[in-house]
Amino acid sequence: MLRRYAYIIIIFVLFLSACSTTSTTEVAQAPAETEEQSSPPDTETSQPTSTATESNTETPSPTATNTATFTITPTMLPTEFMGFEDASVFKALAYMDETLFYFIVPYVASPYYGTVDGVDLTCETDPEQENLLFCRAEEDLFGSDVKHFEFYADEEKTFLVYEGDFSTSLDVLPPTPTPVGFIWPLADFTEADITWGKTPPGCTQRGVNLNCEIEYREYYDGQCLVGATCYDSCGYYYSVNTIKNKSGDYIFVDNCL
């Protein structure tokens, strides 16, 4: 009997020990569950701080700089030329819209620019003729002998080389019928019957290798008229025409004088 009670007591003690162990385990595990379920404390998230943007600095306006002025140095000046001191006009020809001057200028070797009686003048040398300066003015300057010339080394007429007067004989009409340097037809004609050709640019051979084609017509009414065209190394030079609008029958003859 006593042994039975002893077993019951032992079983009861073992039961109480098991319950105590279970409670202790549950209590010990409770904080772990709390730590797993609890979220970590909020930490203050660092917000990006706005950095001050670089302020626009005023760009200085470009300042105007003075452009260097062009100055003439002594090395840029033309070489002094004294040839015009001994120059002369050996021939001058006046046409309806131009006048040509043939100068003899000792040792001339460069082109020149200038004026004659205020009219623009351009001059060039002749590679085949020493001491020759061929000048052209775009105007009929017939009527006076002595003319005032200015010669410059540059086209802008900055460097004056020479200024003076020259005799040109442009106050005298060329004699007819056969003046020196021209071929005139053997017939009666006037200045109004002559047509002058314009000298081509660059031509310094006006009057050189002159030749003419001449036709004399004797009409049945007794008139003898002429048509002549002359050429030189520059091309068409001049012509003489007294036929004009004349009509009727004619015959060719050797001349009209």
Residue 153, amino acid: A
Answer for the pair 204, 132: CB distance below 8 angstroms, yes or no: yes
Max intra-chain CA distance, the chain = 200
Answer for the pair 179, 187: CB distance below 8 angstroms, yes or no: no
24-28, 92-96, 104-108, 148-152: which has the minimum mean pLDDT?
Answer: 24-28
Q: What pLDDT, on a 0 to 100 scale, did the predictor assign at position 97?
A: 85
What is the distance between the alpha carbons of residues 108 and 115, in angstroms, rounded to a whole number?
Answer: 18
> Which of 49 and 153 is assigned the larger pLDDT?
153
Q: What is the pLDDT of residues 3-61, one digit of tens each?
A: 555 566 666 666 666 555 544 444 444 444 444 444 445 545 445 554 444 545 555 55
Q: What pLDDT, on a 0 to 100 scale, did the predictor assign at position 156?
A: 94
The DSSP H or E segment spanning 129 is strand 129-137
Answer for the pair 91, 104: CB distance below 8 angstroms, yes or no: no
Instruction: Output Rg (C-alpha) for the chain, integer angstroms.
Output: 59
Closest CA to 161 of 80, 76, 104: 80
Output the six-digit token pair for 31: 């904080």
Residue 237, amino acid: Y
Kindly report the CA angle at 82 between 72 and 143, in degrees rounded to 5?
Answer: 105
Q: What is the pLDDT of residues 48-100, one digit of tens each?
A: 554 444 545 555 555 555 554 545 444 556 677 889 999 999 889 888 789 99
Output the six-digit token pair for 70: 């062009």
> Which of 22 and 163 is assigned the larger pLDDT?
163
206 CB burial (10 A radius; 0-12, 13-18, 19+):
buried
Q: What is the pLDDT of residues 195-226, one digit of tens each?
A: 999 888 888 888 888 999 999 999 999 999 99
Answer for the pair 192, 185: CB distance below 8 angstroms, yes or no: no
Q: What pLDDT, on a 0 to 100 scale, did the predictor assign at position 200?
A: 86
The CB-side HSE value for 44 (13 A sphere, CA atoms) comes to: 3
Q: pLDDT-derived band of residue 104, with 50, 70 and 90 as boundaries?
A: very high
Q: Calculate mean pLDDT across residues 187-192.
A: 90
Q: What pLDDT, on a 0 to 100 scale, did the predictor assign at position 124?
A: 94
Q: What is the pLDDT of residues 223-246, one digit of tens each?
A: 999 999 999 988 999 999 999 999
Q: pLDDT-derived band of residue 161, with 50, 70 and 90 as boundaries?
A: very high
Answer for the pair 104, 88: CB distance below 8 angstroms, yes or no: yes
Q: What is the Cα 73 distance to its own chain's centre? A: 25
What is the distance between the alpha carbons of residues 151 and 91, in angstroms, rounded to a whole number?
Answer: 18
Q: Domains (ranges, CATH) in the chain?
A: 77-167 (2.60.40), 191-253 (no CATH)
Return the bridge partners of 91, or none.
102
